[in-house]
Structure 1
Amino acid sequence: MKRRWMLVATGALVSGLLHSTSASAEGVPDNYRAFVDYEDGYSYYYPSDWRDFDFLGHDSAFKDRFAALQHVRVCFIPTDKKDIRDLGPMEEAIFDLVKDVYAAPTQVPTIYEMQERTIDGKNYWTFEYELTLPSFSRTAFATIAIGNGRYYTLVVGANERRWTRVRSKLKVVADSFRMLDI
């Protein structure tokens, strides 16, 4: 927990430094903060009014103060793969990931959008998906990437009732994920 607070403080410092140079295209957007983890090799933005929390099995996580199901979380696992493209064709790999890993057996998965981006020579896949039960739905963006010997996953989402109101805000979070060289 002490390490996480140090990382959040570092992120806030970097956020403040980046924000003070608003002419920079890489500056932190208004109403967001930067989370930077130099030790584990990644960074992303999260809404500035969200709070840090422990999410079992994840390296970092922040949630809305009032809507607990509205949150971002990042985890990673070791891999021998060098690039996200090593997983195979994007459409197949994402479909299998959502169906076999993200969705419980009782949930119906739907994938809405997939995109690939290359930033500083590193490839990222970001996709929007929904997991539905008869009485509940949750929609999310996920960004996945491979680098530093790790398979990184960022997931940011909300329940169905809030999704249309917060979608663009959460897309900023998903698109901000970056791997750092470690």
Structure 2
Amino acid sequence: MEASGEGTARPITVVGEPVLHRPCEDVTAFDEELAVLVADMFASMYAAEGVGLAANQIGVPLRVFVYDCPDETEEYRRGVVVNPTLVLPGHGERNLDEYDEGCLSVPGQRANLARPDRAVVHGFDVTGAPITVEGTGLLARCLQHETDHLDGMLYIDRLPRERRQQVLAAYESERAQPSTAE
């Protein structure tokens, strides 16, 4: 059962909304409702011009994320992971990649954040079949970033306190600006 239809783009939840700041629940039913959620997640991610999206970013506290982003070879990879378990290289095998990271739930803001340049996620597809996704480059970062979301963490929570406060202050300042759109 592939995610049916085109899906409907839903509003993206933003930093401060409680659903983003607590761990999500495991998916227990691999049914049409899950397929619709996944289709809506892809539609929402594309509408927001993102490369990954966790279910809680559209207000649904379930352990599901979608992605469509390149690995280190620039090959685009697209998929969904339900109930992911993240595996990172051990400390002796770990190479950190510092990158200017952003998030649809903290719009307009970016900050350098070091993450391992390789990651593996074990989980299930939308039908409940076991899957493993191995990522390098941006895909590795995406797998880590989206799994963090499902654990109730935003990328800014990994920043040093002062830098996190700067990002949040800039975000609040931009939100307070009157819209110039007519």
TMscore range, shorter length: under 0.3
Q: TM-score, normalised by structure 1?
A: 0.27
Asked which structure has the greater RCO (Cα within 8 Å, sep 6+), the reply is 2
Of Structure 1 and Structure 2, the greater strand share is in: 1
Q: TM-score, normalised by structure 2?
A: 0.27
